[in-house]
Amino acid sequence: MNIQKSTLALLVVSLLVSCGLFNSDSPVLIDGQPVNNQLFFTFIDSSEYYQLSPDKQYRIARRFATLQLAADKLGDKYDANALEGFLENKTNDLIIKSVMDAHIREQATDSVKRDILLKRKVKKKVKEILFTHYFSSGYRSDRMPEQALVRAEKARHRVSSQEIRFGDAVTIYTEIPSMEIKGGSYGFIPYQDLPKNVLDAAWATGVGGLTGPIKSQYGYHLLWIGEEMPVADFDTTAEYAEINAKLTRGGYGFVDDEMRKLADRLFREHDVELRYQNLADLFEMIEADRQSKEKYPLQKLEGVVFEKELARIGSQSVDLKWVLERSYLHGAIARMSVHTPYILYRAVNDIITRSLVIDRALEQKQVDLSSFEDELELHEMQFLADKFFKTKKENDKTITDDVIVNRLLLNHTIKLNTKQ
């Protein structure tokens, strides 16, 4: 990747050609030399590329050449530690993606698809009381999650024992004004408008039935199920095709639900317990320090003195230092703007979950790290190219990306290989 001189570049290319990594079948030529097939078709899927018009193929080739030439131009003028940390982040992302893809493929069976199809055929009339807490997404209250669950269970007992009707419970317990006005009613809803585990509970409950409390990111749901109504003009064939296409890409809340179940299982196996009150105390520190609309990434907590335990993993104590150290291995989490208690909870929860997933995947050899080589090489090339562009802009405040690209490509020829 860090080729310094054109003569060395030609030597390396000739060696790679002899080894078969570059060959005459490469789709793109840079200065007459074929590019690395594997790397190029990691940049863009081969079937997608060959469906494009020649003009669009050339634009793809030009973008790839820009990355490669910019990375080569940078030479060794970069922070090796930063690159190492960047690639470690990307490796962790690839491990997580590999594990989840395998898990989703295993779970997305034909029976699951048929189950969703059956549920999509009807709408259900649903009334809800949502019991929020300090770490709820959206509406929230000052109580801790355990207190919200106790309150939800008490409400369920009062309704199921016929001490009060569900409508009375809405008036007593709901904290969302719009839902109180509507008596807690969503009206008729399709199988798609709530978290999947909440919907599954609703669709498993008969007319006039009560179900819950059901945990989601929004709090604890207590549901009353009214009548069912068939979906008009339901096209079974078209609907099944859509389910099949969308399921593993997150449709119908399937991926989120499977990730939640996987995390729950890992938390039980490793006896993970979050310290909600201590998390709340930490967020109050953040809120006191944060300006009204200021972004507050998790990384900004570096140097903050907070000695309370945030969680336990079995006998292991998880404190702020532990969380921050591991957040740097998951860059997207470290950069999260911690502007609500829910975001802080999610960051800590996700860091613990990802750590457990990665540890188990490596221990049980669930992933082949060598299979990530092409993707990591592409990420490295992107990292170096970004650094090249950044350096150019730092040296000339008036320069634009387009100007940098045009100058970079000025003395190079990019062609599509028409002989392949």
User: pLDDT tens across 45-63, in order?
Assistant: 999 999 999 999 999 999 9
pLDDT digit string (tens) for 234-274? 889 998 888 888 887 778 888 888 888 889 999 999 999 99
CA distances from 347 to 75, 135, 304, 310 (A): 36, 12, 17, 12
State residue 14's pLDDT score: 43
The answer to the question of residue 47 being in a domain is yes
Question: What is the number of structural domains in the chain?
Answer: 3
Is the predicted pLDDT of residue 418 greater than 80, yes or no?
no
In this structure, the answer to whether residues 132 and 60 fall within a common structural domain is no
The answer to the question of residue 254 being in a domain is no
Is the predicted pLDDT of residue 215 greater than 70, yes or no?
yes
User: Which CATH number characterizes residue 134's domain?
Assistant: 3.10.50.40
User: Is 334 exposed, middle or buried, given 0-12, 13-18 or 19+ CB atoms closer than 10 A?
Assistant: buried
In this structure, the answer to whether residues 211 and 126 fall within a common structural domain is yes
Is the predicted pLDDT of residue 82 greater than 60, yes or no?
yes
C-alpha 33/C-alpha 412 separation (Å) is: 11
- Among the residue ranges 106-110, 205-209, 229-233, the one predicted with the least confidence is 106-110
State residue 255's pLDDT score: 84
- Among the residue ranges 68-77, 145-154, 317-326, the one predicted with the least confidence is 68-77
Is the predicted pLDDT of residue 331 greater than 80, yes or no?
no
Average pLDDT, the chain: 87
State residue 302's pLDDT score: 84
- Of 257, 262, 283, which Cα lies nearest the Cα of 272? 262
Q: How many angstroms separate the most distant Cα atoms in the chain?
A: 87
Q: Please, where are the H alpha helices in 121-163?
A: 145-160
The answer to the question of residue 13 being in a domain is yes
The answer to the question of residue 22 being in a domain is yes
Type and span of the H or E element at 270 = none
Q: How does residue 419 score in pLDDT terms, banded at 50, 70 and 90?
A: low
Tell me if 298 sits within 8 A of 334, measured CB to CB: yes
User: Which of 322, 338, 363 is a domain's end point?
Assistant: 363
Instruction: Work out the average pLDDT over 140-152.
Output: 94
Q: What DSSP letter does each residue of 372-416 carry, written as one string?
A: GHHHHHHHHHHHHHHHHHHHHHHH-TT--HHHHHHHHHTT--EEE
SS3 222: strand
Phi, psi of 310 (to 5 degrees): -95, -25
Strand ranges for 4-161 from DSSP E: 28-30, 33-34, 122-131
**Domain residues for 312?**
270-363
State residue 119's pLDDT score: 92
The answer to the question of residue 275 being in a domain is yes
C-alpha 385/C-alpha 78 separation (Å) is: 11
Type and span of the H or E element at 230 = strand 219-230
User: Which of 182, 212, 233 is a domain's end point?
Assistant: 233
Tell me if 43 sits within 8 A of 387, measured CB to CB: no
Task: Please state whether the predicted TM-score (pTM) of the whole model is above 0.85.
Answer: no
In this structure, the answer to whether residues 126 and 228 fall within a common structural domain is yes
pLDDT digit string (tens) for 200-211? 999 999 999 999
